[in-house]
Structure 1
Amino acid sequence: MTTFVDRVELHVAAGNGGHGCASVHREKFKPLGGPDGGNGGRGGDVTLVVDQSVTTLLDYHHSPHRKATNGQPGAGDNRSGKDGQDLILPVPDGTVVLDKQGNVLADLVGEGTTYIAGQGGRGGLGNAALASARRKAPGFALLGVPGEAADIVLELKTVADVALVGYPSAGKSSLISVLSAAKPKIADYPFTTLVPNLGVVTAGSTVYTIADVPGLIPGASQGKGLGLEFLRHVERCSVLVHVLDTATLESDRDPVSDLDIIEEELKQYGGLDDRPRIVVLNKIDIPDGQDLADMIRPELEERGYQVFEASAVARTGLKELSFALAGIVAEARAAKPKEEATRIVIRPKAVDDTGFTVTFDEANEVYRVRGEKPERWIRQTDFNNDEAVGYLADRLNRLGVEDALMKAGARSGDGVAIGPEENAVVFDWEPTMMAGAEMLGRRGEDHRLEAPRPAAQRRRDRDVERDEAEQEFKEFGPF
């Protein structure tokens, strides 16, 4: 059964915002109680948090779909809906978040580091919050905004100071088992190690972590064998240790050629040229192994490598190796720049930034409006309520969308689409000379949505209204 997973595709969905409530206060002896609809609750976020107790992405391999809870709708008597509960997803230290195209979104290193993978939707305002001096009793409320949904890729890059690389069965797991308290699986056949092993080593006052990278063979950087799956685990290390088998039973191999092949794979993978290298000639407890180590050591030292001879079985040469690694790790840590305190970067908007754009889509023959505010307002509007549509028109007009459409060359009857092509609201544009509460008739109606009446019809309607007013004056007198 799979127990270690270091790459998964995760489908996250934040919670939707709750709808606002349109309600009028009703109480005995208070016929004009006014609007009292509450706001909808905010949808829950989906947040990734680094947790040191988590070492694998196995849970997300089995359950890749994760969703936060929705916000609750508002209610009458000014009762706001409950916010949705945030969904916290613990991830191992060293997790990298990427989008489907491979672009890095976040690099999560350090206990408690967080990344919001999905932002919860805003709750809609109730009619109590929408009331104003010009619109005293709104007969509508705003809808909640849907939460963000995303498909992301999580990749685990082990956070280790030292990485052991080498051919299968070179003795990397054996070295970790004697240098630290780790107990990896050890056997005398290739590809015994199928997952990176991690151990903690104490050398004097320095404590560092050491990991082995399994399955490096020729062609690993191009996907052959297991190497490509685990080469990412060496990216964060401070020093690379080549473990060379001086007692190999394969006639076509020797330690120097093994070193050259592994170095070529690391070069092909890229990004590791600046890491210091150490060579460990392993298995010198075998007579032939010691003889071979004596033969190749001068050549390796001529190449500039620091060479150590060791035996995990006989436990020889381990103390010198561990202290040498501790010295390199300490130097690397001292050379790293100190982490600065979190800085708040303020980026004010340009004075000519309207927050939206208007372009002509020739393929669909519509003027397309794109921008965070117009698209959010569209999602918040109940198009079954005429007054809500009128309120949307007011907001777009105040933002300057109508003026921008005129400057772009739009004329009455032209198609206008707000939002992306796959999910846009399209309507025929009718420019208005004024907008606001003065355009509203009875609550829930908006004259801007009515078809234009012929002049003769308008005169007849005015005559009827005048006759009705005169009749009421005769019956009831002046008000």
Structure 2
Amino acid sequence: MTTFVDRVELHVAAGNGGHGCASVHREKFKPLGGPDGGNGGRGGDVILVVDQSVTTLLEYHHSPHRKATNGKPGEGGNRSGKDGSDLVLPVPDGTVVLDGKGNVLADLVGEGTTYIAAQGGRGGLGNAALASARRKAPGFALLGEPGQTGDVVLELKTVADVALVGFPSAGKSSLISVLSAAKPKIADYPFTTLVPNLGVVTAGATVYTIADVPGLIPGASQGKGLGLEFLRHVERCSVLVHVLDTATLESERDPLTDLDVIEAELREYGGLEDRPRIVVLNKVDIPDGQDLADMIRPDLEARGYRIFEVSAVSRHGLKELSFALAGIVAEARAAKPKQEATRIVIRPKAVDDAGFTVTLEEDGLYRVRGEKPERWVRQTDFNNDEAVGYLADRLNRLGVEDELMKAGARAGDGVAIGSEDDAVVFDWEPSMAAGAEMLGRRGEDHRLEAPRPAAQRRRDRDAERDEADREYDEFKPF
């Protein structure tokens, strides 16, 4: 059964915004009191938050689909819909968020660090909010925007100050068990450690974390063994500790070769050249191990390494190693630049930025792209002619009509607003520039007009009957 997961693909969906309400106020002696439709609620966001109590991505391995709640629709009586609840997903410290192409979206380090993985849709405006001096009784409301959906990849990079690297069965787990309170699985066969172990070490006034990175063998950086899965866990460390087995029973191995192989894999992986190195000669409590350590020590010193001879069984040399690591970690922390105050960068909008673009595609289709026009299209109820006319007026005021003319569009040409996946396509008619040609006096509620006199209503009814009789006589069958 899987107990540790450090990479998952998460399918997130934010909540949809609630639709606005189209309503007319009614009460005794005042049946048509004007629009009173409320706005729709905002859809909930999907938010990733660093939680120190979470150490693995196992929960999302079993349940990768996550969705926030939708906003509620508005109601009559100027009652706005309830906002959707945000979905907060706790992740371990050191989680990296990537898109499907491998681009880094966020690096979550530090308790409480947040990232919005999917943003909820806006709620639609009700007809009360759309009313104006020109449009006193709108017979429509705006739809809520759909929430963002997509896939993100979460990768865990352990936040540790010291990383123990070495061949399987070199004694890394034994070292971390005696240096800290961690209790990793220990056995005398390769790949005992299948997950990174993390321990906390106190040396004088310095407290630091130490990680045992498993599974490094020749070819690990190309995916052999378990190394490629866990090499990312050494990226955040301040110092690398090579644990060399001086009492190995494998005749084809020796500590110097092991060191060269691990260094080659780290170099192939990349990004770790600037980390200081320490070499630990482990298992010197065994006579043959001490003899081999004395033999290879001059070669290691000639390469410039600091060397510590230790034994996890007899605890020999552990105190010196612990304080040496504490000193390196303290120096690395002091060398880090202090966090500067947050700088607010103001980027004013360019004077010639229209907020949208019009491009002519190879198939003769004119495509309109821009945040505003695409959002307005998503919020339009195309079953309501008045709402469509309102969209036409908004696009005209934004300047879309003029840009289409400049681009060479003519009546009947195809125009698409939005991306290829969810665009709204229509045949363009320049008459949309005036807006009201489509619907007459759009926005007026004829129920609010003064009633016609009875005599006038009879004359209009008789005129309509006479017109119908003439049409029947003209087109009646023989």
Q: Which category of TM-score, normalised to the shorter sequence, fits these structures?
A: over 0.9
The answer for the alignment partner of 1:161 in structure 2 is 161
Q: CA offset at residue 403 of structure 1? A: 0.4
Structure 1 position 266 matched with structure 2 position 258: no
Q: 1:228 corresponds to which residue? A: 228
Instruction: Supply the distance in 2 between the matched residues of 1:155 and 1:347 (Cα, whole angstroms).
Output: 32
Q: Is the 8 A contact 1:385 1:444 kept in 2?
A: no
CA distance in 2, matches of 1:8, 1:434: 50
> Which residue of 2 is the match for residue 435 of structure 1?
434
Instruction: Give me the whole-angstrom Cα distance separating, in 1, the residues matched to 2:21 and 2:252.
Output: 78
Q: Classify 1:167/1:434 alpha carbon distance in 2 versus 1 (closer, same or farther; 3 Å).
A: closer
SS at match of 1:423: coil
Partner residue, 1:14: 14
CA distance in 2, matches of 1:247, 1:360: 72
CA distance in 2, matches of 1:45, 1:150: 13
Q: Which amino acid aligns with 2:214?
A: P
Gaps of 5+ in 2: 446-455, 461-478
Across the aligned residues of Structure 1 and Structure 2, the Cα RMSD in angstroms comes to 1.7
Q: Secondary structure at the match of 1:117?
A: strand
Q: What residue in structure 1 maps to residue 320 of structure 2?
A: 320
Work out the CA distance in 1 between the residues paired with 2:282 and 2:17: 61
Q: CA separation in 2, counterparts of 1:164 and 1:337? A: 26
Structure 2 matches for 1:413-428, cutoff 5 A?
413-428=412-427
Aligned length: 451
Q: Is the contact between residue 385 and residue 439 of structure 2 (CA under 8 Å) also seen in structure 1?
A: no
Matched residue SS, 2:47: strand
Q: In the alignment, what sits opposite 1:104?
A: 104
The answer as to whether partners of 1:134 and 1:437 remain within 8 angstroms in 2 is no
Cα distance between partner residues in 1 of 2:378 and 2:444: 20
Distance of 2:377 and 2:131 partners within structure 1: 20
If the length of structure 2 is used for normalisation, what is the TM-score?
0.92
* Aligned twin of 2:375: 376
Counterparts of 1:45-194 in structure 2, within 5 Å, are 45-194=45-194
Q: What secondary structure, in the 3-state scheme, does the structure 2 residue paired with 1:422 have?
A: coil
- CA deviation map 1:389-447 (0-9, x unaligned): 0000010001000000000000111110001112110001011275356874366799x
Q: CA deviation at 1:17?
A: 0.2
Distance 2:231 2:438 in 1: 67
Contact 2:436–2:442 (CA<8 Å) still a contact in 1? no
Conserved 8 A contact 2:137-2:443: no
Residues 274-353 of structure 1: pairs in structure 2 closer than 5 A: 274-353=274-353
Moved more, 424-433 or 49-58: 424-433
Structure-2 separation of matches of 1:45 and 1:18: 14
Residue 469 of structure 2 is matched in structure 1 by none
How far the C-alpha of 1:471 sits from its partner, in A, is 5.0
Q: Is the 8 A contact 1:177 1:183 kept in 2?
A: yes
Contact 1:386/1:445, CA 8 A, preserved across alignment: no
Q: Is residue 15–residue 68 contact of structure 1 (8 Å, CA) maintained in 2? A: yes
Give CA-to-partner distance per residue, 1:119-149, whole Å, 9 cap, x none: 0000000000000000000000000000000
- 1:136 maps to a residue whose letter is K
Corresponding residue of 1:393? 392
Q: Deviations over 1:331-369 (max 9, x none)?
A: 000000011222222111111111100001113x21000
| Secondary structure class of the residue paired with 1:202 | strand
Moved segments of 4+, more than 6 Å: none
In structure 2, how many angstroms separate the alpha carbons of the residues matched to 1:407 and 1:244? Answer: 73
Hey, what's the Cα distance between the residues in 1 that align with 2:191 and 2:24? 72
Cα distance in structure 2, aligned partners of 1:431 and 1:195: 65
For residues 146 and 436 of structure 1, the distance between their equivalents in structure 2, rounded to whole angstroms, comes to 27
In structure 1, C-alpha distance between the alignment counterparts of 2:440 and 2:432, rounded to whole Å: 17
Quick one: distance in 1 between partners of 2:432 and 2:373?
20
1:387–1:445 CA contact under 8 A, matched in 2: no
Q: TM-score, normalising length from structure 1?
A: 0.92
Q: Which amino acid aligns with 1:409?
A: G
Structure 1 Cα separation of the partners of residues 379 and 118 of structure 2: 19
Q: Counterpart of 1:205? A: 205
Distance across 2 between alignment mates of 1:16 and 1:73? 10
Q: Secondary structure at the match of 1:8?
A: strand
| 8 Å Cα contact 2:95-2:155 kept in structure 1 | yes
Between the aligned partners of 1:424 and 1:262, the Cα distance in structure 2 is 53
Q: Is the 2:136–2:444 contact (alpha carbons within 8 Å) kept by the matching residues of 1? A: no
Q: CA deviation at 1:32?
A: 3.1
